[in-house]
Amino acid sequence: MEKYFDMAISLTMVYAPKLALAIITLVIGLWIIGMVTKLFVKALVASKTDATLVPFLKSLISWTLKVLLFISVASMVGIATTSFVAVLGAAGLAVGLALQGSLANFAGGVLLLVFRPYKIGDLIESQGQLGIVKEIQIFNTILTTFQNQTVILPNSAVSSNAITNVTANGTVRVDMEIGISYDSNIADAKKVILDAVAKNDKVLKDPACAVGVNALADSSVNLLVMPWCNTDDYWDVYFGVREDIKNALDEANISIPFPQRDVHIINEA
């Protein structure tokens, strides 16, 4: 019994200072990491870094520093860090194989946050979904559609496929096709349409609206009307200009024809 007691005292004398130093290092290290993280966030905010990127970078630097701190503390206690890192690597490999889809989404989220093809508040179309970006998370992008529905898109799919950012350039062209009858004068119809478009105060004067023949269809001559507006006014122009054009064409007695078919009756009697 005395032998074990002496051994315990000996081990305590050897490891107690190391353990105390490791605990002190851990506490001070966590405090320093907290301060460094706060300063890092303040620097990002001062440099006007995208608000979407700040939380991700904060988490990344915080966890990186904490992992390095824990490895250092383990080394101070006497744990072989080489084997410790090897175990972490093996565990990371196993987790990575099990979570391939999630890691792909994580990698996609990193790409989106770094290259920023869109930001919060942008109107985008991706994966057949059109909506306003509400949130860019590490694994998913959250959209709000015009029907006030929430759409969750995996970042791996978004980052590896086409993205249409409607609001990126500040202005957008609103294309609309208007059909007139073959009996109508195209020049008169274009003038009536341009006058109607010009009366809408949300349509930009520069670039100017253009109207051209888009198709000679079965029942109508289809004119493509191309007004420009600020992205925030897209839907007002989309609906309002169509109504203005319809009313203006009615006043000018220019008809928008219904589908027509010629029927030939052959009397074989």
Per-residue pLDDT band for 99 (boundaries 50, 70, 90) equals very low
Buried b (16+ CB within 10 A) or exposed e, 99-124: eeeeebbeebbebbbeeeebbeebbb
Which domains, ranges and CATH numbers included, belong to the chain?
2-98 (1.10.287.1260), 117-165 (2.30.30.60), 171-251 (3.30.70.100)
Residue-level pLDDT at 242: 93
What pLDDT is stored for residue 42 in this prediction? 85
Mean pLDDT for the chain overall? 81
250 CB neighbour count, 10 Å cutoff: 12
If one compares 99 and 90, the residue with the highest pLDDT of the two is: 90
Reported pTM: 0.56
Mean pLDDT, to the nearest integer, of 26-46? 85
Pair 22, 76: CB distance under 8 Å: yes
Confidence band of 188 (pLDDT split at 50, 70, 90): very high
3-32 mean pLDDT: 71
Identify whether the C-beta of residue 254 lies closer than 8 Å to the C-beta of residue 195: no
Q: Is residue 96 pLDDT above 70, yes or no? A: no
Q: Please write down the HEC assignment for all residues of 174-206.
A: CCEEEEECCCCCHHHHHHHHHHHHHCCCCCCCC
In the predicted structure, residue 25 carries a pLDDT above the cut 80: yes
pLDDT at 76 over 80: no
Residue 239: CB atoms within 10 A of its CB come to: 12
How does pLDDT run across 215-241, given as a tens digit for each residue? 998 889 999 999 999 988 988 999 999
Rounded to an integer, the average pLDDT of 192-220 is: 92
One-letter amino acid of 65: L
Of 18-22, 133-137, 180-184, 203-207, the least confident: 18-22
For 117-176, the pLDDT digits (tens) are 888 888 899 988 989 898 887 778 899 998 899 999 988 888 888 899 988 888 989 999
pLDDT at 98: 47
Which comes out higher in pLDDT, residue 263 or 236? 236
